[in-house]
Homo-oligomer: A and B are copies of this chain.
Amino acid sequence: MPAEPPTSEPTPSPFLEAARGGCPDRVPIWFQRQAGRSLPEYRAVRGSGSITEAILQPELAAEITLQPVRRYGVDAAVLFSDIVTPVHAIGVDIDVVPGIGPVVEQPFRSRADLGRLRPLDPEADTPYVLETIKAVISATDVPLIGFAGAPFTVASYLIEGRPSRTYGATKALMLGDEALWFDLMEALGDLAIASIRSQVNAGARAVQLFDSWAGALTPAHYRRYVLPTSQRVFAELADLNVPRVHFGVGTGELLGLFAEAGADMIGVDWRVPLSEARKRVGGLPVQGNLDPAVVLAGVEPTLAEAREVLGQAGPGGAHVFNLGHGVLPETNPEVLEALVEFVHAEGRTIAEAGLTADGTGDTSNGS
């Protein structure tokens, strides 16, 4: 389905401007996993069902998506969904179990399992996702970010059967049966492409590919086993003409390869200072990178660290402020409120001043 032409000129967006390499008047900010358990209004509407069930209800999912936009005044909404939604929709026995994460009843281990991955027909398989998007965009001018899981990260859930610290089964399959691995990557790449295209056609104005666990790979393995598929995904999304963000955790050694994959903006976790990350991604816009655990320490440490992040990002824009990973469930929303206010009010000034002589972003002269 081709993208429908917009019926009116979209509202200018600092997020979209920065993601395209521009320098908006204020530093845009949103939070990965901003919708969810950290918000009391989320817990109030969610009830007792699983996340997977909530995603199936467009009215509820749209409300959850909008909650953080209302509370925080962030510069982007992010679809309340999950990176396993498409595989779930085509019949894989996967559920998001509270306190654990995605769990697959029968993990993928052999070629026969490929048969369980039929192509996604987004209108038929995930109508609820598209309805959620339409409900969200009719309710807010803030751009909505759609997303999908990258093939490696989704494969790791399918193969391990549950979140892993070592990705042992995934790597064993990758190195032990290359032909099967690349077939699996292709099928999951197709899923990501189909899902993201449908989300943009429904109204998402930016997309993010989550390769959350790619940082578990050596650079050589990433280059051989993951990069080609991620390159294809981004290439096949280019004609959508929306900013494409590429994110992973612990990707310090992979940032150059992430840039090669073809995204418009690279998400960076807190382990790499943004001044260094900017070099590694060859000048692409960057998104990040406050450690989400810092927020647990309260307003004062959070704003001090935010100042550091802004100073590291430096002048010229092309930076979207975010956490280096998702909001932790135990986060106090009031700290994030203060953080948004701070970044909006002072972010551009701090970033333009850049790093001070002592190598930090502290431009406060002791105040």
Interface residues in chain A, defined as those with a beta carbon under 8 Å from any beta carbon in chain B: 166-172, 174-176, 215, 217-221, 250, 252-253, 270-273, 276, 291-294, 296-298, 301, 305, 308, 328, 330, 360
Contact = CB atoms under 8 A, between A and B. Distances in A.
Given A220-B308, A220-B360, A360-B220, A171 B296 contact: yes
B271 A168 contact: no
Number of copies: 2
B176 A301 contact: yes
A102 to B, nearest CB: 14
A175 B306 CA distance: 13
Query: Which of A175, A215, A217, A298 is the most central at the interface, judged by chain B CB atoms within 10 Å of its CB?
Result: A175
A17 to B, nearest CB: 28
20 contacts: A166-B292, A166-B328, A167-B293, A168-B328, A168-B330, A170-B293, A171-B291, A171-B294, A171-B296, A171-B297, A172-B293, A172-B296, A172-B297, A175-B305, A217-B271, A219-B271, A250-B271, A253-B271, A253-B272, A253-B276
Contacts of A305: 175
Nearest to A218: B270
B176 A298 contact: yes
Q: Interface of chain A, helix or strand or loop or mixed?
A: helix
A294 B272 CA distance: 26
Contacts of A217: 271
Contacts of A169: 296
Contacts of A296: 168-169, 171-172
A296 B291 CA distance: 33
Given A250-B250, A252-B252, A218 B293 contact: no
